């Protein structure tokens, strides 16, 4: 039975799980990972990666429609929905296959099936890899699934989740998006760019609720200019299904109601952790708000049981899960890693325009009693942005007025999802405004706007 005994046994092979497995193998642990569907989990197969492939197609399509602005000629520009989807699926498969290679490279045992905790240090697996397995340390990394709103149950035909939205057989002429977080806004952007009439409904006062107020407002203006209809402080109270469309009833904060027809609707009201049917209650593992309660090292209240990634609570982001996995395994090894600091986790939304952020928003910083300095720099003042034909956007930085600590950074515009990491590194290194001001940024680059934003916070901006 030696082949059924492991130092670390991980349930779920999404970004958190497979990275935890790799780090465990690197540290000399005998490691196994149980997966019921696809290596790479939702992110590689149905989330982060394939959606970015779709959005890249939309981006190129948008550029082709504006070819004349670049001195180019592109006539009768069109698209093939089936080919767009096929490329996205091929990209996803390539990445998932890559995870399989990494498991073999690091000699990690992959068990196909669904796992359930039965007693301390033991799980039973049903499926192809059926059996009972022992693990000194068991890490739950089962991810999350789309949240289902009362009365708006996805049916895969008229009401979609992100699964169906990624593989449309044809492009709907009109689309209702329920929820304006990253998932909802990315799909709204993709379908609008390809020509669909899009309506977004958000129950909170602003779209992109996790973002800085100023950035969210700028995003709303850009989306509305593109033709996206947006309702905030409103909710969808009912969805009536017709033969090939839905009729949604929308109620605003004052109780006013109106109906909106759309060929398809996407329910994008967040996700919930996959905590069911895992045997958590057998061991007495504590859960909270639909996720497993953990400390900064992924430890649950039960010795030898850990949780990472989406199932361990927000923010539900792949890179957060990966980092948690490394921290969890290194803590098990006794390496004394730093606990997870959620304030330093960047968030990115890959819509048009892109949005990226890290740290405190201006409002949250002030609500926390901080005196702040705020710097801003517009894309229209940057030579590289103008040369790219992308002169609309903003970089915003927030500093503690007393200490010069960088509290947060928020961006909207071209390629900001790539730029944000500069501020993430700065925050992680506890950089002050002086060090950022004295850093040399290459010219001509979009990154110069990061420097200018810092300069602006201290009355030294150069190019506006």
The CB density around residue 7, as the number of other CB atoms within 10 Å, is 18
Q: Are residues 369 and 444 in the same domain?
A: yes
Q: Are residues 219 and 291 in the same domain?
A: no
pLDDT surpassing 90 at residue 44: no
DSSP H/E element including 186: helix 182-193
Please give the average per-residue pLDDT across 354-376, as a whole number. Answer: 98
**Number of domains forming the structure of the chain:** 3
Distance of alpha carbon 376 from alpha carbon 215, whole angstroms = 11
Three-state SS for 411? Answer: strand
**Contact yes or no for 21/110 (Cβ under 8 A):** no
Q: Residue 231 is part of a domain; what is its CATH number? A: 3.50.50.60
- Residue at 153 is within a domain: no
Q: Residue 385 is part of a domain; what is its CATH number? A: 3.30.390.30
CA 206 to chain centre: 18
Where does residue 8 rank: exposed (0-12), middle (13-18), buried (19+ CB within 10 A)? buried
Residue 2 pLDDT:
53
**CA distance to 2, 5, 32, per residue, from 135 (Å):** 11, 6, 9
Q: Are residues 136 and 171 in the same domain?
A: no
* 443: annotated active-site residue: yes
Distance of alpha carbon 425 from alpha carbon 450, whole angstroms = 13
Q: Are residues 74 and 171 in the same domain?
A: no
Residue 47 pLDDT:
87
Q: How confident is the model at residue 1 (pLDDT cuts 50, 70, 90)?
A: very low
pLDDT surpassing 60 at residue 365: yes
Q: Are residues 14 and 138 in the same domain?
A: yes
CB within 8 Å of 14: residues ≥ 6 apart: 40, 41, 42, 43, 44, 141, 143, 309, 310, 318, 321
Q: Are residues 10 and 130 in the same domain?
A: yes
The pLDDT tens digits for 399-414 are 999 999 999 999 999 9
Q: Are residues 318 and 198 in the same domain?
A: no
Q: Are residues 139 and 22 in the same domain?
A: yes
Q: Are residues 136 and 68 in the same domain?
A: yes
Tell me whether strands 131-140 and 305-307 are parallel, antiparallel or unpaired. Answer: parallel
- Residue at 282 is within a domain: yes
Q: Are residues 127 and 204 in the same domain?
A: no
- Residue at 463 is within a domain: no
**CA distance to 62, 86, 198, 412, per residue, from 80 (Å):** 15, 10, 20, 30
Q: Which residue has the higher pLDDT, 23 or 37?
A: 23
Q: How confident is the model at residue 355 (pLDDT cuts 50, 70, 90)?
A: very high
Where does residue 205 rank: exposed (0-12), middle (13-18), buried (19+ CB within 10 A)? exposed
The helix-helix angle for 15-26 and 81-105 (nearest 10°) equals 20
Mean pLDDT rounded to a whole number for the chain: 96
Q: Are residues 127 and 24 in the same domain?
A: yes
Residue 330 structural domain:
2-145+272-342
Which residue among 338, 443, 451, 463 is the active-site one? 443
Tell me whether strands 257-262 and 264-267 are parallel, antiparallel or unpaired. Answer: unpaired
The pLDDT tens digits for 166-175 are 999 999 999 9
């Amino acid at each position: 039975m030696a082949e059924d005994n492991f130092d670390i046994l991980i349930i779920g092979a999404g970004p958190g799980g497979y990275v935890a497995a790799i780090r465990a193998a690197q540290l000399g642990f005998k490691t196994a990972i149980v997966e019921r569907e696809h290596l790479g989990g939702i992110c590689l197969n149905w989330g982060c990666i394939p959606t970015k492939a779709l959005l890249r197609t939309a981006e190129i399509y948008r550029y082709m429609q504006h070819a004349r602005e670049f001195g180019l000629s592109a006539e009768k520009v069109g698209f093939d929905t089936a080919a767009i989807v096929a490329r996205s699926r091929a990209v996803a498969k390539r990445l998932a296959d890559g995870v399989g290679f990494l498991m073999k490279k690091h000699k990690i045992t992959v068990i196909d099936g669904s796992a359930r905790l039965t007693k301390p240090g033991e799980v039973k697996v049903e499926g192809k890899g059926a059996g009972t397995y022992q693990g000194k340390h068991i890490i739950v990394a089962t991810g999350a699934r789309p949240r289902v709103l009362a009365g708006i149950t996805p049916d895969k035909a008229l009401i979609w989740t992100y699964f169906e939205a990624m593989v449309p057989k044809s492009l709907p002429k009109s689309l209702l998006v329920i929820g304006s977080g990253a998932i909802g806004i990315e799909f709204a952007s993709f379908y609008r760019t390809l020509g669909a009439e899009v309506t977004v409904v958000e129950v909170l006062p602003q779209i992109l609720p996790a973002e800085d107020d100023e950035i969210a407002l700028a995003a709303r203006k850009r989306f509305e200019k593109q033709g996206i209809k947006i309702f905030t402080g409103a909710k969808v109270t009912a969805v009536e299904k017709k033969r090939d469309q839905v009729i949604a009833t929308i109620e605003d904060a004052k109780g006013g109601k109106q109906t909106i027809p759309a060929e398809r609707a996407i329910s994008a009201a967040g996700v919930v952790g996959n905590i069911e049917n895992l045997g958590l209650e057998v061991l007495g593992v504590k859960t909270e708000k639909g996720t497993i309660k953990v400390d900064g090292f992924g430890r649950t209240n039960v010795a030898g049981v850990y949780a990472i990634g989406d199932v361990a609570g927000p923010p539900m982001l792949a890179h957060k899960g990966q980092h948690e996995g490394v921290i969890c395994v290194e803590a098990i090894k006794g390496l004394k890693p730093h606990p997870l600091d959620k304030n330093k986790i960047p968030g990115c939304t890959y819509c048009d325009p892109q949005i990226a952020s890290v740290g405190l928003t201006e409002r949250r910083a002030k609500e926390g009693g901080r005196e702040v300095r705020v710097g801003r720099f517009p894309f229209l003042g940057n030579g590289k942005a103008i040369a790219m034909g992308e002169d609309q956007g903003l970089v915003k930085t927030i500093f503690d007025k007393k200490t010069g600590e960088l509290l947060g950074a928020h961006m909207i515009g071209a390629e900001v999802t790539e730029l944000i990491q500069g501020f993430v590194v700065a925050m992680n290194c506890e950089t002050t405004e002086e060090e950022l001001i004295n850093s040399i940024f290459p010219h001509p680059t979009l990154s110069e706007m990061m420097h200018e934003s810092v300069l602006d916070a201290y009355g030294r901006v150069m190019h506006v």
